[in-house]
Structure 1
Amino acid sequence: MSNTIYQFAQESGSVIQWQLRRNCSITPSQLAWLYLSLCLVSLGIGGFFWFQGATLVLVFAGFEVVVVGVAFLVYARHATDGEWISLHGSKLVVEREFAGRMERAEFVRQWVRVEPKSGDHSLIELSGQGRSMEVGRFVRPEMRQLLAREIRKALRSA
């Protein structure tokens, strides 16, 4: 076990893990409850005006509920997006989830290259053995170089 302190990683025994996630202020289940309450209020108000003779209010309330529902669905679909990088033993494992689709790549520690994709603020490309994967989407662009240095340092340590 090393005494290295990482800014982005957690060290547990001989395993070093980076969990890079989207910064979401509300979980998908909380969002569902919020949407349900919004539906009840909007459709309740629309129903009240329907019975008062203003029939178009309910139509527009229904349209509003559908549009907001689509926007919430797009948000919820990406709320669990993230990148997980783990280094244990001679393997570097990279997993990336985007919109419910998981990608995974394993690299031999000694053969991994860590480079920016194009410039200083671009994504970080991890490559080796004919494979590559980009990481760093959920890190501020100005912090990506620090993340790349941290991964390089962990790869070099024994």
Structure 2
Amino acid sequence: MGRSPSVHAYRFGHESSGPAGEWAVEWKLKRNCSLAPRQLLGFYSVLCALSLAVASFFWWYGARMVMPFAWVELVAVGVAMLVYARHAADNEFIALRDDRLTVELASGSRVERVEFQPQWVRVEPQAGDGSLVELSGQGRRIAVGRYVRPELRPQLADELRTALRHSRLGGPFGAQ
């Protein structure tokens, strides 16, 4: 028997049905970055060329101390941009499939992954209104929602609860 389309709309998540008819909801929560790492590299290259051109002009006309200060400035800005670029791709990925809830937190080069059985997962605020959303069960816990505005975290928690509830009932499509 076929499944009918879902009537559930998610603000943060995306609902889908896999090729084998497997129901899934996925949340991809990312840091809000104005520049991608590649764009940042291009900007930094232009900044270096311009700064060194100006420093070279003054060095040529006898202001010898301009060049060392230009290099110190470029190194400091480069280190700051490297720190920014390292965390520009930080994200939280939450996937709820028929038989498991998978949470992956990527921060820099570190990735933390936790899997739960959906029927045992509790969703609750970590401390109070606006705090991170804590997923717990089977002796494990993980906090999510870092990249969601604090006033919208309760809505994320409600989405997770709704999806988990429907997962326990065989998915929102309903077994027909």
Q: Flag whether TM exceeds 0.5 (same fold).
A: yes
Higher relative contact order (CA 8 A, sep 6+): 2
In 1, Cα distance between equivalents of 2:24 and 2:45: 42
Which secondary structure does the structure 2 equivalent of 1:44 belong to? helix
Q: 2:98 aligns with which of 89, 92, 97?
A: 89
SS in 1 for 2:56: helix
Give the number of aligned pairs: 158
Separation (CA, whole Å) in 2 of partners of 1:29 and 1:133: 31
Larger radius of gyration: 2
Q: Quote how far apart the aligned CAs of 1:2 are.
A: 2.4
How much does 1:120 deviate?
1.1
Where does residue 28 of structure 1 map in the other structure?
37
Runs (4+) off by over 6 Å:
none
Identity %: 54
Residue 41 of structure 1: aligned partner: 50
Task: Give TM-score scaled by structure 1 length.
Answer: 0.98
Q: TM-score scaled by structure 2? A: 0.88
**Cα RMSD over matched residues?**
0.8
The answer for the alignment partner of 1:67 in structure 2 is 76
Structure 2 residue 25 is the aligned partner of structure 1 residue 16: yes
- The CA distance in 1 between the partners of 2:27 and 2:109, in whole Å, is 19
Q: Distance in 2 between matches of 1:27 and 1:118?
A: 33
Task: List gaps (5 residues or longer) in structure 1.
Answer: none
How far did 1:44 drift?
1.2
